[in-house]
Amino acid sequence: MKTRLTHTPSPEDLEEIKTELRNFNSNFIHRPTLRELGVFVEDENGKKQAGIVAETVGKWMYIQMLWVDESLRGKDVGTQLITEAEEEAKARGCRYSLVDTFSFQARPFYERMGYNVQMALEDYIDDSRAPEDAPSTHTRFFLTKSL
């Protein structure tokens, strides 16, 4: 037996590990059906101005990304995106939603939408604006909501 460290795992490396993990998991759960989900706001030319990208699996929706162009912020566009994604997740049988966000991002927004912090990873990543002699870091928050 030997180990091999790589900074660039190949697609084959990743697929082999994923396959073996799924084989093990199949002894305990049915193969989950992961389904992608996207809701977008586009201008008349089809250029994206906002969007949410998520996936649903089992009884959970995981919000991977939510972005709203600065020109649309404060106009309830994010609220509309979350609401539409949550409605679709419920239609797919989801009962819960998960999102993660950094301390400089949208934690208050998600809390207004009914999400609650479940875990915080402090000292997660350096703040690029901090002077070298005064290090500062950001926290990563994981929030959930019952749909």
The pLDDT of residue 29:
87
Please report whether residue 10 resides in a domain: no
Taking the C-alpha atoms of residue 128 and residue 135, their distance in angstroms, rounded to an integer, is 9
Please report whether residue 22 resides in a domain: no
Tokens 């992961």 belong to which residue? 34
Please report whether residue 84 resides in a domain: yes
Please report whether residue 94 resides in a domain: yes
Residues 6+ apart with CB under 8 A from 4: none
What's this model's pTM, rounded to 2 decimal places?
0.86
Q: Domain count of the chain?
A: 1
Residues 6+ apart with CB under 8 A from 78: 50, 66, 68, 106, 109
Q: What is the pLDDT of residues 103-123, one digit of tens each?
A: 999 999 999 999 999 999 999
Say how far residue 60 (Cα) sits from the centre of its chain. 12
Q: What is the pLDDT of residues 1-60, one digit of tens each?
A: 999 999 999 999 999 999 999 899 989 988 778 899 999 999 999 999 999 999 999 999
Give the domain extent around 118. Answer: 32-146
CATH of the domain at 112: 3.40.630.30
Q: Are 63 and 114 in contact (CB under 8 A)?
A: no
Of 76, 67, 134, nearest to 105 by C-alpha is 67
